[in-house]
Amino acid sequence: MEYRELGKTGERISCVGMGTWKLGYNPDAEIAALREGISLGINFIDTAKMYHSEGAVGMAIKGEDVFIATKVSPDHFAYDDVIKACNRSLKELGIKAIDLYQLHWPNPNIPIKETMRAMEHLAKLGKIRHIGVSNFSVEEMIEAQDALKSEEIVSNQVEYSPFVREIVDHLGDFCREEKITMIAYSPLGKGELSKLKQTRTFPVLYRIGVHHGKSPFQVAISWLISKEDVVPIPKAASIAHVRENVQAVELKLSKTEIEEIDEAEDRSIRPIASRLTGFTRRTTSFWSSIMEKRERLRKHGV
């Protein structure tokens, strides 16, 4: 495994992390998959209150030295709600401090100053160690940083894969200049092969993969970690997928191959945030209702 610095924190996180959205369908196998990742050197796990996976992550990390990132949902951005949400996440995860606490996406209905005051209070109490954001534009990141007195934003978690790049086109230079890590979510294009196969990008990944004896998904991970200050967090529910994702770190693409993938850009897949922006202007409950629906389906089948 290789490690890179998170922002300017001096913390070393594995260059590939593990995402945990949509875990919970087969908890024993998923916990085993997370534990396999840890045993192979992954020390960075991403979760969120909204994913309902903090409990499973808590079980997987028992007795392990890992860097835990979780998120507060925008409906909990009021001061008291941030404090309560953090305490709940700490309990679910079974840890004393959250290594990276992220604002899941912007909430224009609650002043960012109020949210950041709560985040700094949590940092002072030692309940969170670093502050990150997710789905923030450059303008929103600047506003969020200005609202902080003693802490710095160390990361922005955004959708980034060979299939979706426009968000990083927008904030890549800013993050690199400020040394803010871009945590790449949905790095495998959510693994939806039927959609991915129709893109211009997929055949290029496939061809390069065949040349190296690797899968197109491993090529996608290798391409992402070839970028400065980027840490992909693929979600994998099986030991086999976790192993493949770790093995992708060994794959070193040539400059020509990286350029070929750079050039095979295809905008046929819309980023999640393009749906988000419109909705956050009006309400932040859109995503919450989707997640609640998923959770109901998972638990009760309705």
Active centre residues (catalytic): 51
Between 124 and 268, name the residue whose CB sits nearer to ligand NAP.
Answer: 268
Residues 48 and 193: beta-carbon distance below 8 Å: no
CA distance 155 to 77: 18
User: Cβ 69 to ligand NAP, closest distance in Å?
Assistant: 9
State in angstroms the smallest separation of the CB of 12 from ligand NAP. Answer: 20
CB of 296 to ligand NAP, least distance (A): 19
Interaction site with ligand NAP (CB under 6 A) = 19-22, 46, 134-135, 157, 185-191, 215, 217, 233-238, 241, 244-245, 272
CB-based contacts of 183: which residues, under 8 Å, 6+ apart?
A: 17, 46, 69, 132, 134, 155, 156, 157, 158, 230, 231, 232, 233
Q: Is the Cβ of residue 124 or residue 160 nearer to ligand NAP in the bound state?
A: 160
Closest approach of ligand NAP to the CB of residue 146, in Å: 22
With respect to ligand NAP, which residue has the nearer C-beta, 52 or 129?
Answer: 52
Nearer to ligand NAP, 121 or 264 (CB): 264
CA–CA separation, 207 vs 52, rounded Å? 37
Nearest Cα to Cα of residue 153 among 113, 103, 105, 95 = 103
Q: How far apart are CA 177 and CA 232, in angstroms?
A: 19
Least distance in angstroms from the C-beta of 193 to ligand NAP: 8
Residues 172 and 228: their CA atoms lie apart, in Å, by: 10
Smaller CB separation from ligand NAP, 77 or 217: 217
The residues, ordered by sequence, that sit 6+ positions from 12 with a Cβ below 8 Å of its Cβ are: 3, 4, 5, 6, 43
**E strands within 22-177?**
44-46, 67-72, 98-103, 128-134, 153-159
Q: Which two tokens stand for residue 49?
A: 């209150």
